[in-house]
């Protein structure tokens, strides 16, 4: 499915493995591992430089080898991502109601306004009108946290309540989220990665080649990790009956069970060489 770039693959590598091997990877192993999944050395080094500038990586020598350590900022960001990537938002209960954020940030604060919109969307809020953002009620605390972090309380109002009537709820939801596109991405994930899992299921666990497991696991995870971030976890009543997110989640869980251990063993071997 999506484009597996050196930048996305590097973040996937760090998120999946670095914290499990001492928060450090030698340069040579990092390059070789990412080359296994199609990245070229020049793009890898450019991506590493960008993460250094973002404050995610610092150079560190261990055992006479050059490498990069994760900073506390990177660990915090990766931990936060894990909470969504590995615990995809469960479908909200319709009876629990909705969180509505009314945003009216003045032009002089337009940079913060753009940041707020981006972060609300990242939390799974849908834009349902001029300055109106909607999400399941459980997102109230996260919305207030973002608003406080940007110091925009004076320009926002957050309400929690039930839908009582007016515009048909399903139509309003579809105006706020591109659910057909998200469903299509889930279907692409299943189509793209089910054959790989079937291939490995034909083998005994001890016969799975670690190098091959690493490559297929990395590519699946790189394709997967953005999908839960896009999914607001809407109530099932508002989704199509054959919503593909359920099948995609089950598939990713099975890929992890089958391939994570041999993939990690391969990474450890590359580090110890």
| CATH number of the domain enclosing 118 | 3.30.70
In a domain, 1, yes or no: no
Q: Is 267 helix (H, G, I), strand (E, B) or coil?
A: helix
- 170 assigned to some structural domain: no
Q: Are residues 116 and 148 both part of a single domain?
A: yes
- Would the pLDDT of 1 be above 70? no
Q: Which two tokens stand for residue 210?
A: 């670690």
8 A C-beta contact, residue 123 and residue 146 = yes
- Specify if 84 maps to a domain: no
Distance CA(262)–CA(206), nearest Å, equals 9
From the list 234, 223, 226, 189, the residue with the least C-alpha distance to 90 is 234
Domain identity same for 157 and 183: no
Asked if the structure places residue 86 within a domain, the reply is no
- pLDDT score of 39 more than 70: yes
pLDDT value at 66 more than 80? yes
- What's the 3-state SS for 67-83? EEEECHHHHHHHHHHHH
Residue 236 lies in a domain: yes
Q: In this structure, are strands 132-136 and 126-129 parallel, antiparallel, or unpaired?
A: antiparallel
Output the average pLDDT for the chain. 92
Tally of structural domains, the chain? 3
Within a domain: 90: no
* End residue of a domain, out of 44, 78, 112: 78
- The domain boundary, picked from 119, 134, 161, lies at 161
Question: Given this model, what pLDDT does residue 205 score?
Answer: 78
CB 252 within 8 A of CB 220: yes
Are 192 and 250 within one domain?
A: yes
Entry pTM = 0.87
Same domain, 264 and 205: yes
Identify whether residues 185 and 263 lie together within a single domain. Answer: yes
Q: Are both 240 and 188 inside the same structural domain?
A: yes
pLDDT per position as a tens digit, 155-198:
999 999 998 888 788 998 999 999 999 999 999 999 999 999 99
Question: Is the pLDDT assigned to residue 94 strictly greater than 70?
Answer: yes
The answer on 256 and 191 residing in a single domain is yes
* 22: containing domain: 6-78
Q: Tell me if 136 is assigned to some domain.
A: yes
Angle formed at CA 228 by CA 225 and CA 230, multiple of 5 degrees: 105
User: Residue 92: pLDDT above 60?
Assistant: yes
In terms of pLDDT, which residue wins out, 3 or 114?
Answer: 114
Instruction: Calculate the alpha carbon distances from 81 to 15, 31, 55, 127, 268 in Å.
Output: 9, 23, 17, 23, 23
């Amino acid at each position: 499915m999506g484009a597996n770039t050196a930048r996305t693959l590097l973040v996937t590598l760090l998120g999946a493995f670095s914290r499990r091997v001492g928060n450090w990877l030698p340069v040579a192993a990092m390059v070789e591992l990412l080359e296994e999944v199609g990245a070229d050395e020049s793009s890898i080094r450019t991506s590493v430089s960008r993460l250094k500038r973002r404050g995610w990586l610092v150079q560190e020598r261990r055992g006479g080898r050059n490498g990069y350590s994760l900073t506390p900022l990177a660990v915090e960001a990766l931990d936060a991502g894990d909470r969504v990537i590995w615990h995809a938002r469960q479908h909200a209960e319709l009876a629990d109601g909705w969180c509505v954020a009314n945003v009216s940030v003045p032009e002089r604060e337009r940079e913060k306004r753009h940041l707020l919109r981006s972060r609300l969307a990242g939390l799974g809020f849908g834009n349902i009108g001029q300055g109106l953002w909607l999400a399941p009620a459980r997102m109230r605390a996260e919305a207030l946290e973002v608003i406080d972090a940007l110091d925009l309380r004076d320009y926002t109002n957050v309400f929690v309540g039930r839908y009582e009537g007016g515009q048909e709820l399903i139509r309003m939801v579809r105006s706020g989220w591109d659910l057909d596109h998200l469903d299509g991405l889930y279907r692409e994930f299943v189509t793209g990665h089910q054959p790989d899992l079937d291939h490995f299921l034909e083998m005994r666990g001890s016969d799975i080649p670690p190098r091959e497991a690493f490559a297929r696991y990395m590519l699946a995870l790189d394709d997967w990790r953005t999908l839960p971030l896009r999914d607001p976890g809407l109530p099932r009543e508002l989704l199509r009956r054959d919503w593909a997110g359920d099948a995609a989640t089950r598939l990713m869980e099975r890929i992890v069970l089958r391939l994570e251990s041999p993939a990690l063993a391969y990474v450890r071997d590359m580090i110890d060489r």
